[in-house]
Amino acid sequence: MTAVLEVLVWWAALTGIWLVLISTVDPLELLVGSAAALAAAALARAGRRAVAHR
């Protein structure tokens, strides 16, 4: 449950940054940005866990 919450927080933050940086919010751009943010959120969690277990 903690992993899901962490990825959700990362995803929300990255999606929010994406929405601030784009000029026009199309449905396609929102979908692509959300998908990219989800991938980045999963990688951010993996990176944080890798550093924490050193």
Q: How many domains does the chain divide into?
A: 1
Predicted pLDDT of residue 1: 79
Give the range of the structural domain holding residue 34, as residue numbers without chain letter.
2-52
Predicted pLDDT of residue 52: 85
Q: Position 48: which residue type? A: R
Q: Tokens in use for 53?
A: 């277990």
Q: Is the pTM of this model over 0.75?
A: yes
Q: Which residues lie closer than 8 Å to 41 by C-beta, 6 or more apart?
A: 7, 8, 10, 11, 14
The pLDDT tens digits of the residues spanning 1-42 come to 789 999 999 999 999 999 999 888 889 989 999 999 999 999
Say whether pLDDT at 54 is over 80. no
Predicted pLDDT of residue 24: 84
